[in-house]
């Protein structure tokens, strides 16, 4: 599944509690979710998915920018 996300070309980040993917549109994000579900259905009879969307108009590179902003506030840079 991670290889599918990587092949999508969108920025992503694996975390201990899930995978973050940054896409320009909701439709592109949902396409990745749909592809993941299709893949998982071949191996499992049940899939549980939690989806959160953080939509900010004209925002780019938010995966890195959010972390950078927090690090600056905490003086970790």
Taking the model in full, what pTM does it have?
0.77
Q: pLDDT tens-digit profile of 28-62?
A: 999 999 999 999 999 999 999 999 998 888 888 88
Quote the pLDDT of residue 77: 64
Lowest mean pLDDT among 19-28, 40-49, 60-69: 60-69
Share of the chain above pLDDT 70, in %: 99
Q: Which domains does the chain have, with CATH numbers?
A: 2-73 (3.30.70.930)
| DSSP assignment string, the chain | -HHHHHHHTS-EEEETTEEEE--SSHHHHHHHHHHHHHHHHTT-S-----------TT--SHHHHHHHHHHHHTT--
Q: In the Cβ-directed half-sphere of 2, how many Cα atoms lie within 13 Å?
A: 7
The residue-averaged pLDDT of 15-37 equals 93
């Amino acid at each position: 599944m991670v290889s599918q996300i990587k092949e999508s070309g969108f920025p992503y980040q694996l975390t201990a509690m899930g995978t973050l993917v940054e896409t320009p549109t909701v439709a592109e994000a949902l396409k990745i979710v749909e592809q993941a579900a299709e893949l998982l259905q071949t191996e499992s009879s049940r899939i549980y998915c939690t989806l959160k969307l953080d939509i900010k108009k004209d925002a780019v590179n938010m995966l890195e920018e959010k972390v950078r902003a927090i690090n600056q506030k905490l003086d970790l840079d």
